[in-house]
Amino acid sequence: MKRMIIATLLLCCYQSTFAAGIIPDDDDDFIAGSAMPAGSWFAGFGFGADFTDLDDSTSVKRMPASIPPDKFLVKKQAEVGTVNLLFGYQGSHNRRFFPVYSFFVGYTYSVPGKIHGDVEEFSDPTKVNYSYEYEVSRQTLQFFGKFDLCEMGRFMPFIIGGLGGSYNRADDYSETAKPGVTPRNSPGFGDDNEFVFAYSFGGGFDFKAYDNIWLSLGYLYGDFGDVQTGKGVATFSTDRLKTEYKAHTIVFNAMYFFHR
C-alpha cells in the first residue's frame, strides 16, 4: 500500500508538471490545480464482491476433554456479492495534492456465501474422513475517511480507511462422509450471529462524470472480527466453529452531490 501511494504521488507530480508545461496558465479547461467544486453533502449506492480470507483451520473441542479436538480445514473460501449505501460530506482545497477529502458513513450487506472444507478427526492428518460446509455473511457499518491524492484529468486516485462494527452470521452447517467412510453423527453446529469491531482500508479511483455525479472503483481489505456458529450437539456440545472474518473487496459506487 505504501509503495502504491508513493508511485501514485509521483505520477500525479509528473502529470501536473507535464500539463503545466503544455497548457497556458490562463486556460480555463486545465483541471490540475484549478478551482475545485464547493463542498457538498452526498449520497451513494454501489455494489461489489467479497473474497473471504478466513483462517485456514479451526480446532473444535470434544467431550470428554481427554479426546483430542477435531480440526476443521478450509479448502474453499466464499466469493459473494455486496451492496453498499453511502452518506456523507465532501470538501475540497485548491491545491495540487490532496485536493479533495470526504467523510461518510458506509453500510455494506454481503450475500451469504458457502465455506467448504475437510475435517481431520482428532487432529490426525491421516483421518480426513468428512467434508463440511456452512454459510457466512455480514452487515457492516463504518465511518470512512477518503482522500483524493491529485487530479489526473477527470480521474482522481484516492486512499481510504474506515472503522466501525459488523454484524456477522454463520449458519446452515452440514457434513458428509468421504467415500468408503461410515457416516458419523453430525456435530450439528447451530446458527449464531454477533456484532463486533471492524476496520478496512484501501484505495482506488474517482471519476468525475459530472459536477454532481461521481463514480468510484476501489479495493478494500477488511477485518470484520469473529464469525462463529452456535454450539454443537453430543460430544461437540461445549464448543463451536469460530474464525476471523477477513475479506478482499472490490467496490463500485456512484455518488450524487446535492449542492452542485
249 neighbors 217 (Cβ within 8 angstroms)? no
Domain 43-257 has CATH 1.20.1070: no
Please report, for residues 121, 130, 187, the alpha-carbon distance to residue 180 in angstroms, rounded to integers and kept in the order given.
15, 11, 20
User: Count of alpha carbons within 13 Å of 112, Cβ hemisphere only?
Assistant: 12
Whether 27 shows a pLDDT value over 60: the answer reads no
C-alpha cell at 238: 461445549
Whether 8 shows a pLDDT value over 80: the answer reads no
Coil, strand or helix at 110: strand
Asked, as a colleague might, if the bond just before 68 is cis with ω within 30 of 0, I would say no
Cell match 508545461: residue?
Answer: 21
- First-to-last C-alpha distance (Å) of the chain: 33
Q: What is the tens place of the pLDDT at every residue in 61-76?
A: 999 888 999 999 999 9
Residue 30: per-residue pLDDT: 38
Residue 95: per-residue pLDDT: 80
- pLDDT > 90: percent of the chain: 79
Q: What is the tens place of the pLDDT at every residue in 115-173?
A: 999 999 999 999 999 999 999 999 999 999 999 999 998 999 999 999 999 999 999 99
Residue 94: per-residue pLDDT: 82
Closest CA to 144 of 159, 129, 123: 159
C-alpha cell at 161: 480507511
Residue 6: per-residue pLDDT: 54
Closest CA to 193 of 240, 145, 253: 240
Higher-scoring residue by pLDDT: 188, 27: 188
Query: Which element (helix H / strand E) includes 16?
Result: helix 2-22
| Lowest-confidence pick of 30-44, 72-86, 131-145, 195-209 | 30-44
